[in-house]
Amino acid sequence: MSLLAQSIINGLITGSIYALVAAGYSLIYSTNNFMHFAHGISVVAAGYMVYWLFTLAGTPFYATCLITILLSALFGLAMYRLIYLPLQRRGSSNVILLIASIGILIFFQNIIQIAFGSGVKLIGYIEVSRGIAFPGGITMTVLQIVILLISGIIFIMLYQFMQKTKLGRNMRAVSNNKELASIVGIDHIRISDFSFLIGSALAGVAGILVALEQNLSPLMGTNLMIKGFTGAVIGGINYVPGSIIGSFVLGMAENLGILVLPSGYKDAIAFSLLFLFLLFKPNGILGKKEGRFDK
């Protein structure tokens, strides 16, 4: 019983990290319609930024977080303005942008390795200690509770932003129908700018939390990206709240699945779920966009 409860909690913690990655990814995807795999490197870059500012340079922790989120947002904007937009202007299709994003990912992975070395880095802000034991045999650390809370708050804010603000509504309009949106005078490039800014800022938050909760290595982005992407698809990649829920479903499925199956199947469970969703519910749990079928 306690094992089941603990696994559910583990699923939530894993899910919240996936969800932070997936939310930014799906925001960018829904307004731009191409797979921005370099989103994973935004997370890693943010993590290393924390390491550099806080652990090496001794900047106060909260200032570090603020600078990191800001720089992450700018990093995302720079990728859009310097690489993707020029390619789009030259008439590149979305698959070319996908390859370009992989190129960006490889480039920064290796630059980070040259700058910081291939070893594992720890932030060391919080002493590693035994978690708090809750009734029902659940153990959680304070940081994990904080992560759940922060991601919860961010998701609510994001939802409010998408529903209530003009910018958020414009973003949804673009993601629903580009042509119609441009007819009513929504500037697509400006919307893309903002989606990269906000999406990458979310990656920054994810990077900070991952850096605190786990550790840093140059290659961690790929894994996070694949899982965030899987979660986004399961939930509905075109709809941010959907991709958040999908990520939690994924986290749960992975952690509960290996209670029954050998743990080597953890990734297999995740990808089978992805595959099954695409076969039977390609728009994801909450995905709204119809018309993707070859009717």
Partner 1 sequence: MRTGTIFIVILVVLGILFTAGCADTETPGETGEEMIVVGIMGPYTGGAAVYGNAAKDGAMLAFDEADLPNVIIVVEDTKSETREAATAMNKMVSVNNVQAVIGDLISAATLAAAPIAEQNQVVMISPASTSTDISDAGDYIFRTIPGDDGQGIFAANTMHERGYTKLALLYTNDQYGNGLAGIISEEFTAKGGEIVADETYEAGSSDMRTQLAKIKNSNPEVIYIVSNTPDSSVALLRQITEIGIDANIYGSEGLKVASILELGSSVEGIVITSVSPESEDFRQKYMDAYAEEAPAFAAQAYDAATAIIMAIEQGATTGEEIKNALYEMEFDGASGHIKFNEMGDVEGGYVLVEVRDGAFVTLEE
Partner 2 sequence: MIFSAYQTHIFILIFIYIILVVSLNLALGYTGLLNLGHVAFFGIGAYTSALLALEGLTYIAAMIAAGLFASVFGYLLVIATDRLRGDYLAMATLGFSFVVYSLLLNLRDVTRGAMGIPGIPKPTILDFTIRTNDQYLIFVLLVCAISVFIMYRIVNSPFGKLLEATRDNAVCLRVLGKNTLSLKYKAMMISAFFAGISGSLYAHYITFIDPTSFYISELILVLTIVIVGGLGSIKGSIVATALIIYIPEVLRMLDLPSSVLGPARQAIYAVILITILMIRPKGLFGKVDLE
Q: Which does 59 bind (CB under 5 to 8 A by kind): partner 2, partner 1, none?
A: none
Site string for partner 1, 238-277 (x = CB under 8 A): ----------------xxx-xx--xxx-xx----------
Give the nearer residue to partner 2 in terms of CB position, either 118 or 160: 118
CB of 82 to partner 2, least distance (A): 10
Q: Within a 10 A sphere around the Cβ of 275, how many other Cβ atoms? A: 12
Under the criterion CB under 8 A, does residue 267 sit at the interface with partner 2? yes
**CA–CA distances in Å: residue 13 to residues 69, 140, 144, 157, 207:** 21, 10, 7, 19, 15
Beta bridge partners of 134: 138
CA-based nearest residue to 84, from 17, 43, 37, 30: 37
CB of 189 to partner 1, least distance (A): 30
- Classify residue 150 as exposed, middle or buried by CB count within 10 Å of its CB (0-12, 13-18, 19+): middle
Q: Which does 192 bind (CB under 5 to 8 A by kind): partner 1, partner 2, none?
A: none
CB of 254 to partner 1, least distance (A): 8
CB of 100 to partner 2, least distance (A): 5
Q: How far apart are CA 209 and CA 204, in angstroms?
A: 9
Under the criterion CB under 8 A, does residue 150 sit at the interface with partner 2? no
Q: Which residue stretch of 85-93, 171-179, 216-224, 235-243 sits at the interface with partner 1 (rule: CB under 8 A)?
A: 216-224
Q: How far apart are CA 60 and CA 82, in angstroms?
A: 32
CA-based nearest residue to 234, from 175, 278, 202, 272: 278
- Classify residue 265 as exposed, middle or buried by CB count within 10 Å of its CB (0-12, 13-18, 19+): middle
- Classify residue 139 as exposed, middle or buried by CB count within 10 Å of its CB (0-12, 13-18, 19+): middle
Give the nearer residue to partner 2 in terms of CB position, either 98 or 145: 98
Among 60, 63, 78, 86, binds partner 2 (CB under 8 A): 86
Under the criterion CB under 8 A, does residue 179 sit at the interface with partner 2? no
Under the criterion CB under 8 A, does residue 165 sit at the interface with partner 2? no
Q: What are the tokens at 231?
A: 């979660």
Q: Within a 10 A sphere around the Cβ of 118, how many other Cβ atoms? A: 10
Among 211, 220, 232, 240, binds partner 1 (CB under 8 A): 220
Site string for partner 2, 180-219 (x = CB under 8 A): ----------------------------------------
Residues that bind partner 2 (CB under 8 A): 33, 35, 83, 86-87, 90-96, 98-100, 102-104, 106-107, 109-111, 113-114, 118, 222, 226, 229-230, 233, 237, 262, 264-265, 267-268, 270-272, 274-275, 278-279, 282, 292-295
